[in-house]
């Protein structure tokens, strides 16, 4: 398979062209022939015109790429090596939602032929590829797993907004259904991954490796969030504590904050779901999830308490929230925990305005029911810097005074304003 891809005798297809799939597709397209497949025809048309719908890549990223963007299954049938990079969200009950993954598997099944390879990159619980995805491929095609087609798993490690840790620079974990497929899949990824690959012993091991990457971060951030709640009761600043503790060489430098997005705030639920299915209740992971999922409400409640202490009439109060995306310097609003802050404010009768230089007001309205204000007003009782976009890092106390008043509270969730606020009321996690 590798040799035929290199010679452009066969084509590689990437299914799902979002934050993960598009960079992968374009990177491969610099070396081999690629089909970029997405079910959203509007997004496909944008990419044909060298526009990244996610807003991550410049138009120059599309230059000198041998790639055909399509939403047609007929075109997809021209491929022989399929990479699946669709989202794996959770539902309203924090249970895995496999519909995008199984839908992508059905699309591939319509194009799958003897001798083809399928590699899943979407984050799943261990066993999902073999127990949930492969049966779809077999049932629809009538082909036999391993005998007629090969399957592997190679977890995505792309970090949206991170221009340093790109696909080529991060070691790629790969796996296959047998020794032959593991070797071929490794060679294919080595075409674009300069950092090299790590061959996991099985598909399940590769799946597990991915899911614990984000679970580990989630648990550690939860610890920092819990510490911030404790330190707040003690009247000391968490970031100052962490700065002091961080002088020790082996101190792990995690920070408190809102934990959302499509990875860290989601992946642990895939692991706890599988653990529960196997009869084990994951206590530490679930506790971490509870703490992190509660932080948005905590931030709003603390702010309201401080406003009341200042004599502000909550029903007449106005708050400006700066930032609505799930993290800094991205357009992605999926599973943004800033929404929890906003909704909690509203439950107290607070009037909330939201600004964000990256987020789409239309998408926020569709997903969460609120819009951005084009221009913030003045006289805000509290200003919450919820996302540390680079546009906000140069804000001075004078800028905040123009937006608020001499008694306004500045809530700095990431501690980026520490030391800059002298006259106004200041609080951070």
CA distance 370 to 403: 21
Helices assigned H by DSSP within 235-315:
238-245, 267-277, 283-309
Strands 34-37 and 11-15: parallel
- List the catalytic residue out of 128, 133, 177, 263: 263
Write phi, then psi, for 22 (nearest 5 degrees). -65, -50
CA distance 322 to 429: 16
Helices 203-234, 283-309: axis angle to 10 degrees equals: 30
CA distance between the termini of the chain: 52
Angle at alpha carbon of residue 270, lines to 38 and 341, rounded to 5°: 85
177 among known catalytic residues: no
* Of 65, 76, 85, 104, residue with least CA distance to 19: 85
Count other Cβ atoms within 10 Å, centred on residue 305.
11
Asked if 151 contacts 129 with a C-beta cutoff of 8 angstroms, the reply is yes
Asked if 335 contacts 261 with a C-beta cutoff of 8 angstroms, the reply is yes
Contacts (Cβ under 8 Å, ≥6 apart) of 123 = 88, 155, 156, 210, 211, 214, 263, 266, 267, 270
What 3-state class would DSSP assign to 401?
A: helix
Catalytic residue numbers read: 263
């Amino acid at each position: 398979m590798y040799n035929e891809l290199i010679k452009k005798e066969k084509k590689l297809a990437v299914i799902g062209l979002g934050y993960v799939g598009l960079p992968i597709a374009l990177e491969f397209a610099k070396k081999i022939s690629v089909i970029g497949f997405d079910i959203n025809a509007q997004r496909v048309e944008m990419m044909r015109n060298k526009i990244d719908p996610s807003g991550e890549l410049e138009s120059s990223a599309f230059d000198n790429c041998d790639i055909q963007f399509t939403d047609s299954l007929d075109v997809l049938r021209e491929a022989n090596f399929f990479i699946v990079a669709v989202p794996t969200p959770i539902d309203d009950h924090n249970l895995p939602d496999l519909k995008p993954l199984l839908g992508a598997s059905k699309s591939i099944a319509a194009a799958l032929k003897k001798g083809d390879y399928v590699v899943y990159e979407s984050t799943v619980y261990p066993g999902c590829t073999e127990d949930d995805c492969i049966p779809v491929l077999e049932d629809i095609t009538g082909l036999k797993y391993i005998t007629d087609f090969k399957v592997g798993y190679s977890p995505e490690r792309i970090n949206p907004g991170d221009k340093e840790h790109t696909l080529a620079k991060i070691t790629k974990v790969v796996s296959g259904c047998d020794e032959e497929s593991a070797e071929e899949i490794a060679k294919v990824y080595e075409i674009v991954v300069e950092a090299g690959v790590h061959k996991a012993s099985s598909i399940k091991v590769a799946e597990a490796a991915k899911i614990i990457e984000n679970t580990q971060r989630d648990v550690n951030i939860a610890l920092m969030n819990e510490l911030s709640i404790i330190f707040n009761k003690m009247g000391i600043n968490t970031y100052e504590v962490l700065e002091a503790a961080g002088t020790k060489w082996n101190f792990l430098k995690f920070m408190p904050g809102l934990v959302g997005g499509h990875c860290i705030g989601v992946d642990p639920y895939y692991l706890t779901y599988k653990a529960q299915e196997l009869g084990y209740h994951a206590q530490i992971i679930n506790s971490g999830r509870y703490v992190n999922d509660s932080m948005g409400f905590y931030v709003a409640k603390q702010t309201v308490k401080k406003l009341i202490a200042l004599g502000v009439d909550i029903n007449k109060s106005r708050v400006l929230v700066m930032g609505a995306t799930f993290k800094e310097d991205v357009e992605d609003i999926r599973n943004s925990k800033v929404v929890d802050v906003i909704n909690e404010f509203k439950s107290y009768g607070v009037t909330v305005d939201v600004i964000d230089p990256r987020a789409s007001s239309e998408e926020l309205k569709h997903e969460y029911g609120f819009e951005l204000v084009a221009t913030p007003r003045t006289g805000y009782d509290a200003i919450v810097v919820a996302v540390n976009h680079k546009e906000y890092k140069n804000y001075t106390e004078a800028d905040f005074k123009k937006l608020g008043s001499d008694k306004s509270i500045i809530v700095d969730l990431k501690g980026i304003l520490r030391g800059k606020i002298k006259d106004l009321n200041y609080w951070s996690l």
